[in-house]
Structure 1
Amino acid sequence: MTTKPLPREAALIVNAHSRSGKDLFEKARTKLEANGVTLLAAHAVEDPETLAAIVREAVADGAPMVIVGGGDGSLSGTIDELVGTDCVFAVLPLGTANSFARTLRLPLDLDGAIAVIAGGVRRRVDLGMIDGDYFVNGASIGLSTMIGETVPHNLKRYLGRVGYLLWALRCSISFRAFRLRLDDGETQQELWSTEVRILNGRYHGGVELSDTADVESGEIVIQAVVGRSKARLAADWYAKFFKLRDRHAHTEEFRACSFRVETTPTLKISIDGEVLARTPVTAKIAAKSVEVAVPKTV
């Protein structure tokens, strides 16, 4: 594990459309500079569709570190711009679930996250990939994808994970199980499932779903909630949310560098909270593809 210090210069790019972004942008800029981080540029971005282009410009202009503030969707949508560069990716966790920040063991409060950026170290980690699209944390197929695609923004903005739960109850009425087929090049699996999680890290939706997925493992983890029962899916989320002893009783996990993932019927895929693909796809690991800012103790 590297202990190389973080750069003291950075570009700050905050998704002001995220749950906390607009309120915290000015505080973040002031606190970063007070902690000795020189900001080469600072952007409060109202249109999330422009985030990737602004990050790309910051990297091209030579910023040694890019600080992205927002939720997991903002991080996943911009991480591609740093792959293959020497630029460090730093996170301000301003979203609803903040799964990638949890995976990196970052503080979830603004002061704590800024302390890491000002005094932490670099760490090179894996990214996941769905076909050619990099993601930081996880992708999903099933009910959570339906929720992510249809949940009203204001419900998510003001109620956070409680809002997701309320909307999940509504979506579950029309949801149906599906057939899942996995092929890692050596072994094929086929089973009924109500939800599939394609994991680079342990967390998805802010909940620790896997004990084995890790951003330094060099493998992608596919976790399937098995069977056709929606009650079993609900029980799985409940058990994992509250970290019960039998929290993995309803799931099976498969590990490899790459999987071909197919479903019947064809289903949409949510990538770090944004619906961006549909089956069939190839899910794989991109080992050690980006440097991130982490606490010294990680």
Structure 2
Amino acid sequence: MKVALVVNSSSGSLLGKPDAAAELEAKLRGAGLEVVAVLDGDASDLVSRMAQARDLSVDAIVTAGGDGTIATAAEALLGSDKALAPLPLGTMNLLAKDLGIPVDLDAAIAVFADAETTEIDVGDVNGHKFLCNSMLGVPARLAERRERNRLHMGVVGWWRHVIAGLKSMYRYPAMRIGLDLGDGPVTIRSKAVVVADNAYDEGFGHVLTRSRLDRGELTLYATRRLSAWPLVRLSIRMALGRWTDDVDLETHHVKELTVTSRRRLLRVMNDGETRLIAPPLKYRILPKALKVLRPKSAAPAPELESAA
């Protein structure tokens, strides 16, 4: 298989590793993959390097970075015949985990040497793509704080980040937004709104994981209250895998939705990357719009149709 390697050296796992691109290239070649080009750099020119890789004569684009890097690759690869092969080198690696790609780097590379191609859905908000989720409110603010301090986090820094997050749950004022799910706008107040590219699974140990990435739907999760007891109860239920029907969590499955606000700009976190976007926020799902590589054994079993 012919591949191009695109490295985002500013991703979490690659910070401070100047020889990362050469090491990754050697590992890919050692697994039997033909590396046509290595495009190394930081996030500043990532978009142009992804476009350059797309135009090469290759079968797949191997991305070395986190979920934000992968989302950038998805924007470049939409409508092309190139498959995306995400290496788990970010902080969360949510898409790689959902695809069944091992978090161990050598194991992940071995997967790509004998992988299958499948098609997954892509989320879109005002032209910006996401493959995992898009968040508003407290999660977006915490992500911005994490990015500002990432180079100096360390163990103590991460604990401070966690504590700051818990404080924000109580101190951050609820957003007042308009929400249109197709039946006309309604006003809600919430501290955290998540639009997921397909629904999250339930079950013990399944926290923010998705077994299906091609249902062709967005799932909206919005908190109603975040005072002490509802937050504790929701956290416990998430750990136990029974959280999506919590009384303080509003859930909707839609093809598209619109978020309005009196604010001039809303802070949005798409797959871990924050940006300011002018409302209204128009969300939609692009069914099976992206080709990806995944382990052959990780292909989901077909869903049974319900009896009429």
Match of residue 86 from structure 1: 81
Match of residue 37 from structure 2: 41
1:14 aligns with 2:11: no
* Residues in 1 aligned to 2:272 and 2:170: alpha-carbon distance in whole angstroms: 21
Match of residue 54 from structure 1: 49
In the TM superposition, 1:63-82 aligns within 5 A as 63-82=58-77
What one-letter code is carried by the residue in structure 1 that aligns with 2:80? Answer: T
* Residues 174 and 190 in structure 2, CA contact (< 8 A), matched pair in contact too: yes
1:121 aligns with 2:98: no
The alpha carbon displacement at 1:189 in A equals 4.1
In the TM superposition, 1:139-158 aligns within 5 A as 139-151=134-146, 152-155=149-152
1:227 aligns with 2:225: yes
In the TM superposition, 1:1-298 aligns within 5 A as 8-21=1-14, 23=17, 24-45=20-41, 47-151=42-146, 152-155=149-152, 164-169=161-166, 171-172=168-169, 174-186=171-183, 188-201=185-198, 208-209=207-208, 214-227=212-225, 229=227, 232-233=230-231, 235-237=233-235, 239-240=237-238, 242-246=239-243, 248-249=245-246, 250-263=248-261, 267-278=266-277, 279-297=279-297, 298=299
Task: Tell me how many residue pairs correspond in the alignment.
Answer: 287
* Residues in 2 aligned to 1:246 and 1:184: alpha-carbon distance in whole angstroms: 22
- What secondary structure is seen at the aligned counterpart in 2 of 1:114? helix
What one-letter code is carried by the residue in structure 2 that aligns with 1:97? Answer: M
The alpha carbon displacement at 1:185 in A equals 2.2
Cα pair distance change 1:54/1:217, threshold 3 Å: same
Q: Deviations over 1:28-87 (max 9, x none)?
A: 221210111010011332x21211110101111233211011111111122110000001
> What's the TM-score, normalizing by structure 2?
0.83
Cα pair distance change 1:228/1:172, threshold 3 Å: closer
Match of residue 302 from structure 2: none
Q: Deviations over 1:120-178 (max 9, x none)?
A: 10011100001111111111001110011122112557689766524413544641112
Larger radius of gyration: 2
* Residues 169 and 191 in structure 2, CA contact (< 8 A), matched pair in contact too: no
* Residues in 1 aligned to 2:154 and 2:58: alpha-carbon distance in whole angstroms: 31
5+ unaligned residues in a row in structure 2: which ranges?
Answer: 201-205, 300-308
* Residues 121 and 214 in structure 2, CA contact (< 8 A), matched pair in contact too: yes
Q: Deviations over 1:159-217 (max 9, x none)?
A: 897665244135446411122332122354433211000101456xxx83377x84201
* Residues in 2 aligned to 1:35 and 1:85: alpha-carbon distance in whole angstroms: 25
> What's the TM-score, normalizing by structure 1?
0.85
* Residues in 1 aligned to 2:159 and 2:92: alpha-carbon distance in whole angstroms: 11
* Residues in 2 aligned to 1:290 and 1:27: alpha-carbon distance in whole angstroms: 28
